[in-house]
């Protein structure tokens, strides 16, 4: 299998979400990387179209954070990303830190979403038609 970190390392994943302004309104001068994110939640939502929701912390905090986040001493950015019209879901429950590179790879009119961790390997893999950023928020995380 070839390395599938094309978009996460090139920081182009934002161009593929339905609502990029959700990200660019906070990240006006830089683009957040999906390398070494910490996965907190993986939800599968049944209904008319199967959806998955990934909630994770980004590795790096903003260089030019909103003043409200600075005043509140936030040090972590958390994203919630929905995968819409999801198919081919493969999932392994991770143990440990849940840290890995979230890869979003265009595949024709769809996207391959892959989340591997060390040493577990691929924890989550799916194909989705659309990507939607549900929320972006800052919070103060205790650093070890």
Mean pLDDT across the chain, nearest whole number? 86
The better pLDDT of the pair 11, 98 is held by 98
pLDDT of 68 reads 96
Average pLDDT over residues 77-100: 86
Structural domain spans, the chain: 6-138
**pLDDT over threshold 50, residue 70:** yes
H/E element, 71: helix 67-71
pLDDT in tens, 15-45: 889 999 999 999 988 889 999 999 999 998 8
**Measuring CA to CA, which residue among 68, 73, 80, 62 is closest to residue 22?**
80
pLDDT in tens, 90-103: 888 766 678 999 99
């Amino acid at each position: 299998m070839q390395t599938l970190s094309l978009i996460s390392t090139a920081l182009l994943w934002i161009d593929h979400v339905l609502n990029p302004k959700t990200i660019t309104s906070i990240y006006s001068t830089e683009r957040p990387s999906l390398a070494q994110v910490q996965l907190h939640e993986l939800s599968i939502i049944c209904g008319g179209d199967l959806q998955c929701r990934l909630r994770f912390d980004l590795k790096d905090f903003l260089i030019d954070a909103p003043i409200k986040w600075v005043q509140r001493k936030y040090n972590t950015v958390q994203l919630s990303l929905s995968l819409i019209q999801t198919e081919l879901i493969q999932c392994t429950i991770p143990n440990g830190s849940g840290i890995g590179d979230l890869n979003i790879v265009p595949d024709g009119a769809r996207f391959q979403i892959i989340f591997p961790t060390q040493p577990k390997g691929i924890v989550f893999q799916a194909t989705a038609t659309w990507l939607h950023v549900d929320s972006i928020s800052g919070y103060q995380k205790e650093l070890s």
